[in-house]
Amino acid sequence: MAHRGPPRAPKGPGTAARAPNPGAPLPPRWRPLPLPPPPLLVLVLLLAACGAAGRSPEPGLLGPRARVLRVARSPHAGRAEPGGGEDRRARGTEPGTPGLGPDPAPGPAEDGAPAAGRGRWARAAPAAGAASRAQVSLISTSFVLKGDATHNQAMVHWAGEDSSVILILTKYYHADMGKVLESSLWRSSDFGTTYTKLTLQPGVTTIIDSFYICPTNKRKIILASSSLSDREQSLFVSTDEGASFQQQQVPFSVETLIFHPKEEDKVLAYTRDGKLLVSWDLGKKWTPLRERVTKDHVFWAVSGVDADPDLVHMEAQDLSGDVWYVTCHIHNCSEQMPPAAGPLAPGSLTVQDDYVFFKATSMNRTKYYVSYRRNEFVLMKLPKYALPKDLQIISTDESQVFVAVQEWYQTDTYNLYQSDPRGVHYVLVLEDVRSSRQAEDSVLVDILEVRGVKGVFLANQNIGGKVRTLITYNKGRDWHLLPPPSTDLNGRPTHCEPPDCHLHLHLRWADNPYVSGTVHTKDTAPGLIMGAGNLGSQLVEYKEEMYITADCGHSWRQVFEEEHHILYLDHGGVIVAVKDTSIPLKILKFSVDEGLTWNTHNFTSTSVFVDGLLSEPGDETLVMTVFGHISFRSDWELVKVDFRPSFPRPCGRDDYSAWDLTNLQGDRCILGQQRSFRKRKSGAWCMQGQSYTSALTSRVCTCRASDFLCDYGFSRVPSTQPNASRCSANFWFNPLSPPEDCALGQTYTSSLGYRKVVSNMCEGGVDLQQSPVQLQCPLTPPRGLQVSLRGEAVAVRPGVDVFFVVQQEQGDALTTKYQVDLGDGFKAMYVNLTLTGEPIRHRYESPGVYRVSVRAENSAGQDEAVLFVQVTSPLQALSLEVVPVVGVHEEVTLTALLLPLNPNLTVFYWWIGHSLQPLLSLDNSVTTQFATPGDVRVTVQAACGGSVLQASRVIRVLDQFQRVPLQFSKDLDAYNPNTPEWREDVGLVVARLLAKETGIPQELLVAVVKPGLPTLADLYVLLPPARPTRKRSLTGDKRLAALQQVVAAQKISFLLRAGLRILVALRDTDAGAQRLGGGGGYWAAVVLFVAGLFATAAFVLYKFKRKRPGRTVYAQMHNEKEQEMTSPVSHGEDAHGAGQVPSARRGPGLSPSRTPLLPLPGGSPHAGNHSGVVLSINPHERRSYLVS
């Protein structure tokens, strides 16, 4: 059963303790608290109503279920709720029973209880209020399940669909033994007036564990039984609503049965040892399908989506322990794996409507995949820097997916996203929805879909600890606070005026289907919402006043001061309310005019503790049942309440009135259409019946701007027009970029930033998403070329087949050729290598390090990917932080970022240039210099045990460039995830904006965002190729002045997210640009030497006070010399001498001794000078070290 909303909190002060009986079952997410004797009795009601999957619920299974707790009372006990969202109560002492004594008040099982079949009858007196004019006549009958006082679980099924049959299975479940020890099966054929105890095997004690109802033919029922020895298991099958049963022996122990959603005789059986079987003849014969299947992750084919109705979707484990998505035909189960469905995260497969979801973890990151209408799996594309920690599916109806995503910076809130019809691209619709995490890693998100009216949702938003309730009428495009009622329960003014005061509701869902949650809606009663909450500036946990709306949230009224359990009868024509209290009661309240007036009825002559309410599935009748007990040693008591005598005739056309659906602004056009509904008039005492339909008329509206939301990659920002907004592209998204699958010769349409809300029916009018210009897919050079081993490892064993996977993120793949060099002499040329997805199979026979390179080239450009394969052991993931531009002979720090960091256990291998022999260090950073200009590839691998990870970057070594330090608005720090990709994107947008404003070619500007906080950056200005007619120094001065001018004028800014623009500024405007020239150490020495001469001269003049009349000593530097004088890039180099090389940082836990970083034998002579804390070992010792 899906859980949404936070766990129930205690109502006000006071304590209440409760615990299950030691022999009673412990429901999931239960944390018992000790109580004094006598022993307590847990009463669990499990609803066996038919779902789409035909699954009858048990504790811990999906499907509706109820858990109701019987505990001994204490006079001062309040009510507190256990964690986990369970809807259980601790009740006070029964009247006349002091404390927790051993003698409870006599109940029907102890003192004069009527025998089974002879219940108490009570006829309601005329009720007060508006309904009294019609002389309300209600009939209540009570029946006691004699002999079941020790049973602590029950499963109830009301057949419905013109059937008067009710089945009740009561059980005594012993938690310590983990099995059912006793059971009784009761059947009623008169809507619950009387019950008969069934005997399945005369003379033989039969223990029934559970029963299952066919969803397409509720006359067909299967009971699962077991023996105390667990050596025998039987199924009892009925085709006449339980009037008779036939026994079928089975050779397995049933965990759960799953009926086919369309074909009534097909059933799946999941066993307690993880096996899956199928039956085509309602359980007479069983055929094995698969072993090692994940519990609760088996799904029948979805009608209208799966081509074969006999297909079964399942999550299963192979012999190696990997989990896969498997489809299987029940007549010929040859396991099939859908395309691109790699190993899954266990327990992540979900098949729901048109979609199949799963998640997979790779490179220490979790990715979510979706398949729309059983097509190929694709990555679910959230905004680039959402970086989800968790994802919960909220809804998949109407060809759209709602998901709640907990992003990297959130702890107790989720963001709500809405998808396109394929479920691939997602846009943000609401931030900071409250959530709570329960036991067993279940998450409750405070969002509720209002049933009966499509597109309406309620959500509780938590901003700064302040929780407020919002409502949307157009599937999340616009959200508004709930309007408060003007008067309270007694007609007095509430003095609650927006914007400081609104209505807020608790959005908890009851785990017990016999009681309503804090908000109650039904498909059969559109527009009718009842909920518990409060008025004020925010939601208060201990306030649970009851409010009602009959027009889908447009106007509200207060009806009760305390929370009540709600039940709708006859399509909401009768609303029944029973107080949620810890004391016994015998009065229920009901309304026949949508909560305008309320009447009371004594449903029993003796007060009972109400455990739940039950009506026929569909809420289409006027008969209900109240479950309760008089004392804790009494039998079950079921009270039937019949409203039919008060509604003697069926409703006609004149008995209804129409109402129009509007939003809070009074707009009738909602989701592109005007919808009208009908409801029974308050003075009409008639029954609406099963044939009643609430929908009256609908009319399509003309499209307006409000019918569109922002497309993927765009965010809504305020517009210059009042009460308007527009969609603007996020900084990481380029709307003009062709799609990734755009091939040469094809066309694509660039998004203008808008798309129509899914399921919106409007026509004509405004069309914001229209884009008449069809763009040709250009021939793009290959970009983002990657080569990896299947399994994402770079360390293998000799003699084992390995599979190289080549991927290309961007660029045309049809015209691209791929040159592959596997490093051991194998070279080959491929075409369509990245399109087919087929890996390159290879085997290395000898240990060693092999440089695998893939070079992709077409007429538009080229790209290269390099992978160093260690033929020793497996591997995992890594990133490399380097400055992309450095000067000749300038010291540069290479830093490897590893998660998780394992100090003293990780060996870092550094490849600089084309060297096959790495440098080794125990520190995650080294310093080096480059003697000659050019592009140098730096590759690092981190080895820890049998795990090896790799990262690679290219450094551009130049003899001349300039650097401008930059800073950003402080708001950027709050949204800085501190990931290399994020820093790269911010640097790209800064360089692009500067190039646009100054006219400097973008390839000459490199903006590098530094790691950590605050967010800072350096802009590297590269020199253009030398021209004989122009001096380079003059050109550099003009470019530098232009850059400083546009930054100082605050012309460089970018949109981070909706309504938040980030400004780029100079970090140190007084110091100006710091420049590097060729031979950085030489010019630093010149600067220090000249400064020393001036200082010495000044000292001599001051000391000896010598004066030379008629002469003035001064120094004048030529412009070009001044242009070449530089200061080091590193801020800390002022503390070093001109030729001093700072030592590398020492890793934690290293010994005090330091060894200079030395290359292994055969190292590259072009690596430059290095320093660091390292290991210097020969190849034999290195191999021994890695093996150990």
Are the beta carbons of 55 and 212 closer than 8 angstroms? yes
The three-class DSSP label of residue 312 is strand
pLDDT recorded at residue 882: 86
Task: Look up residue 289 and give its DSSP letter.
Answer: E
Are the beta carbons of 250 and 233 closer than 8 angstroms? yes
Are the beta carbons of 790 and 699 closer than 8 angstroms? no
Q: Following DSSP, what letter does each residue of 936-978 receive, concatenated?
A: EEEEEEEEETTEEEEEEEEEEEES-EEEEEEEE-THHHHT---
With 90 as the cut, is the pLDDT of residue 674 above it? yes
Residue type, 862: Q
pLDDT recorded at residue 311: 93
With 60 as the cut, is the pLDDT of residue 895 above it? yes
User: Could you tell me the maximum CA-CA distance found in the chain, to the nearest angstrom?
Assistant: 135
CA angle 1068, 1070, 1075 (to 5 degrees): 75
With 50 as the cut, is the pLDDT of residue 219 above it? yes
Phi and psi dihedrals of 341, rounded to 5?
A: -95, 90
Strand partners, 864: 855
CA neighbor of 1009 nearest in space, from 898, 1130, 883, 896: 883
The structure tokens listed for 508 are 């908890």
Go through 938-973 and write b for each residue having 16 or more CB atoms within 10 A of its CB, e for each that does not: bbbbbbbeebbbbbbbebbbbebbbbbbbbbeeebe
Helices (H), 600-714: none
| Close Cβ partners of 132 (under 8 Å, ≥ 6 residues apart) | 126, 599
pLDDT recorded at residue 697: 84
Phi and psi dihedrals of 614, rounded to 5?
A: -145, 135
pLDDT band at 1096 (very low <50, low <70, confident <90, very high): low
| Pairing relationship of beta strands 885-887 and 947-958 according to DSSP bridges | parallel
With 90 as the cut, is the pLDDT of residue 144 above it? no
**Percentage of the residues of the chain whose pLDDT score is greater than 70:** 73
| Close Cβ partners of 926 (under 8 Å, ≥ 6 residues apart) | 893, 894, 908, 910, 919, 1144, 1157, 1170, 1171, 1172, 1174
CA neighbor of 911 nearest in space, from 872, 944, 954: 954
Q: How many CA atoms lie within 13 A of 1164 on its CB side?
A: 20
Q: Would you put residue 594 in left (φ > 0), alpha (ψ -120 to 50) or beta?
A: left
Task: Over range 1141-1152, report the average pLDDT.
Answer: 36
Task: Look up residue 321 and give its DSSP letter.
Answer: S
CA neighbor of 599 nearest in space, from 137, 917, 1171: 137
Go through 1093-1112 and write b for each residue having 16 or more CB atoms within 10 A of its CB, e for each that does not: eeeeeeeeeeeeeeeeeeee
Residues 1130, 1141: Cα–Cα separation, whole Å: 12
Any idea which residue has 């973890």 for tokens? 361
The string of pLDDT tens digits covering residues 1106-1122 is 444 443 333 333 333 33
Residues 309, 292: Cα–Cα separation, whole Å: 23
With 60 as the cut, is the pLDDT of residue 781 above it? yes
pLDDT recorded at residue 745: 78
CA distances to 368, 758, 880, 1114 from 391, rounded to whole Å, are 8, 21, 29, 71
Q: Which residue has the higher pLDDT, 153 or 842?
A: 842
The string of pLDDT tens digits covering residues 454-490 is 999 999 999 999 999 999 999 999 999 999 999 998 8
Phi and psi dihedrals of 1185, rounded to 5?
A: -65, -45
pLDDT recorded at residue 441: 67
Helices (H), 340-472: none
pLDDT band at 414 (very low <50, low <70, confident <90, very high): very high
The string of pLDDT tens digits covering residues 83-96 is 333 333 333 333 33
The three-class DSSP label of residue 1025 is coil
pLDDT recorded at residue 789: 86
With 70 as the cut, is the pLDDT of residue 881 above it? yes
Average pLDDT of the chain to the nearest whole number: 76
pLDDT recorded at residue 436: 84
Residue type, 350: T
Task: Over range 256-264, report the average pLDDT.
Answer: 94
Residues 562, 582: Cα–Cα separation, whole Å: 12
Residues present in the chain in total: 1188
The string of pLDDT tens digits covering residues 947-966 is 788 898 898 888 888 888 99
The string of pLDDT tens digits covering residues 346-361 is 999 999 999 999 998 8
Residues 507, 518: Cα–Cα separation, whole Å: 6
pLDDT band at 945 (very low <50, low <70, confident <90, very high): low
**In terms of C-beta distances under 8 Å and separation of at least 24 residues, what long-range contacts does 659-662 make, across chains too?**
659/527, 659/550, 659/551, 661/453, 661/527, 661/551, 661/552, 662/551, 662/554
pLDDT recorded at residue 685: 87
Phi and psi dihedrals of 598, rounded to 5?
A: -130, 140
Residues 452, 819: Cα–Cα separation, whole Å: 60
Go through 382-416 and write b for each residue having 16 or more CB atoms within 10 A of its CB, e for each that does not: bbebbbbebbbbbbbeebbbbbbbbbeebeebbbb
With 60 as the cut, is the pLDDT of residue 1162 above it? no
The three-class DSSP label of residue 747 is strand
Residues 833, 812: Cα–Cα separation, whole Å: 12
With 60 as the cut, is the pLDDT of residue 1150 above it? no
Secondary-structure percent of the chain, ordered helix, strand, coil, rounded to 5 = 10, 40, 55
Q: Where are the beta strands (DSSP E) in 146-199?
A: 153-158, 166-174, 179-188, 196-197
Task: Look up residue 455 and give its DSSP letter.
Answer: T
Range from 604-608, 625-629, 1062-1066 that averages highest in pLDDT: 1062-1066
Phi and psi dihedrals of 1048, rounded to 5?
A: -65, -30
Are the beta carbons of 524 and 572 closer than 8 angstroms? yes
Any idea which residue has 């006549």 for tokens? 137
pLDDT band at 295 (very low <50, low <70, confident <90, very high): very high
CA neighbor of 1054 nearest in space, from 1003, 1007, 1001: 1007
Are the beta carbons of 512 and 8 closer than 8 angstroms? no
Q: Which residue has the higher pLDDT, 798 or 530?
A: 530
pLDDT recorded at residue 1064: 93
Residues 924, 936: Cα–Cα separation, whole Å: 19
pLDDT band at 447 (very low <50, low <70, confident <90, very high): very high
With 80 as the cut, is the pLDDT of residue 710 above it? yes
* Lowest mean pLDDT segment, chosen from 166-180, 507-521, 903-917, 1154-1168: 1154-1168
Any idea which residue has 């040693």 for tokens? 633
The string of pLDDT tens digits covering residues 4-45 is 333 333 343 333 333 333 333 333 333 333 333 333 333 333
The three-class DSSP label of residue 584 is coil
